[in-house]
Amino acid sequence: MAFKKSAVPFSGTPEQEEKLKAVIAEHKDDPGALMPILQKAQDIYGYLPIEVQTMIADAMEIPLEKVYGVVTFYAQFSINPKGQYKISVCLGTACYVKGSGDIFNKLQEKLGIGSGEITPDGKFSLDACRCIGACGLAPVLTVNEDVYGRLTVDDVDKILEKYN
Amino acid sequence: MVNIKINGVDYSVPEGSTILEAARTAGIKIPTLCYLKDINAIGACRICVVEVKGARSLVASCVYPVNEGMEVFTNTPKVIESRKTTLELILSNHKKECLSCVRSGSCELQELCNEYGVEENRFEGENPAVELDDSAMHMTRDNSKCILCRRCVAACGVTQGIGVIGANERGFATQIASPFDMGLADTACVSCGQCIVACPTGALTEKDDTQKVLDAIADPDKFVVVQAAPAVRASLGEAFDLPVGTNVEGKMIAAMRRLGFDKVFDTNFSADLTIMEEAHEFLDRVQNGGTLPMITSCSPGWIRYCENYFPEFIPNLSTCKSPQQMFGAVVKTYYAQKLGKNPEDIVSVSVMPCTAKKYEINRDDQSAAGIPDLDITITTRELSRLIKKTGIMFNDLPDEECDSPLGTGTGAAVIFGATGGVMEAALRTAVWKLTGEKADSPIEFKDVRGVEGIKEATYNVGGKEVKVAVASGLANAKALLKKVKAGEADYHFIEIMACPGGCVNGGGQIILPASVKNFTDIRAERAKVLYDIDSANKMRCSHENPDVKAVYDEFFGEPNSHKAHEVLHTSYKAQKLYR
């Protein structure tokens, strides 16, 4: 099986670890403590890499798989950080019927990463999102705060070039 | 008791029982897939649905408690249709290679599909390619045959308290796997195989080494010897439709001889040898201030667990190799010398109730003759497969006896296969030794018998109080070790077996369906076989074994001698949980 470790090396700081420890200490004995701990851990680190999940599992004395199972169950958690350029492709109904699926596939192919992943250089991350309220421009994608609309598959190369 | 009606007939059933249990007492088998008694009652698979009068929809009988006046219908057209559709949906993304699947004939899904006359390809949906996890030495996971019942997850997480597998992702993407999809070999898996015996389908299987055995037997230049562990004779018959709890010792030996092994020996021999070493090691630790409590080292699943999770107890572990490895070591040193053979020309095979043995033969410090002590280890299941493949009609075989000189075992040896057995066997010899080697030394130590997860007892041995404890199943082992660590218990001697009930319920034994396991304690039934063999044996104590005496006279000198240490003992080291 392919080991799904984040492509970007972990760069957590001692300060972040202290914060995480405080959060775990605060919630450890609550019933259902894992969810709030994971949410706060993601606030601290921005994502939940294996290093952070291992710290949580060890401190809570539960198997790492239990943590990973919850993290992958909920869409709100990410095991990868966001890139310098965060690409979101709208796969909402209007964009999808206008062909955003193909655009999304093209981006996966060009960047060599899947949904929720990040390029090894940390430059681009790719996510699918639901409606961003710009259906008139469908299909739509955003790169950080920039919005690109009325796209075709051929536009993908030009957009990526702008950020290279 | 509460009064209920099942299919129009009145029954009085115990309060608090589920509909599934109540129906069973009424002689009705409601089918199940995900339910495993005590560890997995999640009502997820929907195969056990029944109609309850007044209920809005069908209910899952495995988790639905009975109440006074309840009317249950287990076989209405609605129920049958629902179960059938569920099966057809499960099949929609199931890898249907039933003709060659190793679980064909023992697959719970296959049996149900057959009973319900399902349409095999009624639903055809997406069948995403699933990667095989064959990273571990002892097993393979093929999720294309997984039905997501989570029985393996419960076996690993609840029974064993390990939890290296679980459900990742969600919805259609859900897969049972390890964290971050790492291979099982990179996790803290201890190779116990309890997940395999929990699996209703062919998703989890041991690595099959039967061809290696056939190749070795067919090689005229190799001298192939085989040993079978005590617990194998208590389960093997189940593969040939014999009732649970049938002793097939004689037929097992006959079958191995007909398979063409040059010599058929018995791990009972080296279990006795283990006791000689281990009892003396224990007495030495007690008398000379060694690390106590001493903990047994026969179970490789337990050894790996200790190295993973409780490395601080490594000094407590007996340095004795397991009986399998002692046997292998004796074959390639003492026995090779006796035969005048080069140990390289001997292929040493074992039949074990255990999948962790496949891991154990590859461990470090298990090569007394400079080459691995053991060459091939197969499970009880693989032996049954070999017997079937070679056309040996098992039930018609005569009872035969093992070859000499490594084929003799005492009653103390055969009970190794049940939880508490090693403890009892060690006590028989230790008490005899400490109380002046008298003929009327006590034989039976019944407090340490039985399927209970943790057992404790105190014995007066030669005027000294000896506190012992026995744990089986690693979740129980964890609880016991935590107690010792916290200073809440001061045992002298602890026996730990990785599998609940000991080797009789090992991960390599014949797989029985949940419909049997949920209603019969197979641990107790199989253990009874071993205790019966023990009480029928004229020799009940390891120190009485003439083959063991001979090996000390001719080779080792005495227990725990320098030579014995070189050949029969090993070492351990702390392991990282995830690599």
- The three-state (H, E, C) secondary structure of B161-230, written as one string: CCCCCEEECCHHHCEEECHHHCCHHHCCCCCCCHHHHHCCCCCEEECCCHHHHHHHHHCCCCEEEEEECH
Judged by CB atoms closer than 8 Å, whether chains meet at B163 and A73 is answered as no
How many angstroms separate the CA of residue A8 from the nearest CA in chain B?
Answer: 15
Can you name the residues that pair with B351 across neighbouring β-strands? B228, B378
Whether omega for the bond prior to residue B77 falls within 30 degrees of 0, making it cis, is no
ipTM of the complex: 0.92
Asked whether residue A19 is domain-assigned, the answer is yes
Asked whether residue A4 is domain-assigned, the answer is no
Report the pLDDT value the prediction gives residue A7, as an integer from 0 to 100: 78
Report the pLDDT value the prediction gives residue B460, as an integer from 0 to 100: 86
Domain check: are A93 and A137 in the same one? yes
Domain check: are A53 and A91 in the same one? no
Domain B108-206 belongs to what architecture? 2-Layer Sandwich (3.30)
Could you tell me if B442 lies within 8 Å of chain A, comparing CB atoms?
no
Could you tell me if B181 lies within 8 Å of chain A, comparing CB atoms?
yes
Judged by CB atoms closer than 8 Å, whether chains meet at B164 and A63 is answered as yes
Residues B130/B173, Cβ–Cβ less than 8 Å: no
**φ and ψ of B424, to 5 deg:** -60, -45
Asked whether residue A109 is domain-assigned, the answer is yes
User: Best residue in B180, B309, B478, B579 to probe A by mutation, most A CBs within 10 Å?
Assistant: B180
Domain coverage including residue A42: 14-73
Taking contacts as CB-CB distances below 8 angstroms, the residues of chain B near A2 are 131, 181
Nearest to A1 among B164, B170, B177 (CB): B177
Asked whether residue A126 is domain-assigned, the answer is yes
Judged by CB atoms closer than 8 Å, whether chains meet at A72 and B168 is answered as yes
Domain check: are A99 and A32 in the same one? no
Which sequence spans correspond to the domains of chain B? 2-75, 108-206, 211-568
Asked whether residue A57 is domain-assigned, the answer is yes
Domain check: are A105 and A46 in the same one? no
Report the pLDDT value the prediction gives residue B127, as an integer from 0 to 100: 84
- Contacts (Cβ under 8 Å, ≥6 apart) of B550: B405
- CB pairs below 8 Å between A and B: how many? 58
In whole angstroms, give the CA distance from residue B3 to residue B467.
48
Could you tell me if B163 lies within 8 Å of chain A, comparing CB atoms?
yes
Domain check: are A123 and A153 in the same one? yes
Asked whether residue A130 is domain-assigned, the answer is yes
Query: Is the domain defined by B211-568 classed in CATH 3.40.50.1780?
Result: yes
Judged by CB atoms closer than 8 Å, whether chains meet at A1 and B133 is answered as yes
CATH at residue A142: 3.40.30.10
pTM here is 0.94
For tokens 């107690």, what's the residue? Answer: B483
Domain check: are A105 and A150 in the same one? yes
Residue B260, H or E segment: none
How many other C-beta atoms can be found within 10 angstroms of the C-beta atom of residue B97?
12
pLDDT by residue for chain B (579 residues), tens only, comes to 999 999 999 999 999 999 999 999 999 999 999 999 999 999 999 999 999 999 999 999 999 999 999 999 999 999 999 999 999 999 999 999 999 999 999 999 999 999 999 999 999 888 888 889 999 999 999 999 999 999 999 999 999 999 999 999 999 999 999 999 999 999 999 999 999 999 999 999 999 999 999 999 999 999 999 999 999 999 999 999 999 999 999 999 999 999 999 999 999 999 999 999 999 999 999 999 999 999 999 999 999 999 999 999 999 999 999 999 999 999 999 999 999 999 999 999 999 999 999 999 999 999 999 999 999 999 999 999 999 999 999 999 999 999 999 999 999 999 999 999 999 999 999 999 988 888 888 999 999 999 999 999 999 887 889 999 999 999 999 999 999 999 999 999 999 999 999 999 999 999 999 999 999 999 999 999 999 999 999 999 999 999 999 999 999 999 999 999 999 999 999 999 887
Taking contacts as CB-CB distances below 8 angstroms, the residues of chain A near B186 are 3
- Per-residue pLDDT reduced to its tens digit, A54-77: 999 999 999 999 999 999 999 889
Q: Fill in the amino acid letter for B453.
A: G
User: Best residue in A62, A65, A78, A79 to probe B by mutation, most B CBs within 10 Å?
Assistant: A65
Q: What would the CATH number be for the domain defined by B2-75? A: 3.10.20.740
DSSP 8-state symbol, B510: P
How many angstroms separate the CA of residue B21 from the nearest CA in chain A?
Answer: 30
Domain check: are A156 and A89 in the same one? yes
Q: Domain count of chain A?
A: 2
Nearest to A73 among B162, B170, B577 (CB): B170
Judged by CB atoms closer than 8 Å, whether chains meet at B135 and A2 is answered as no
Domain check: are A100 and A64 in the same one? no
Interface of A with B in 46-85 (CB under 8 A): 50, 53-54, 62-69, 72-73, 79
Last residue of a domain, one of A50, A73, A96: A73
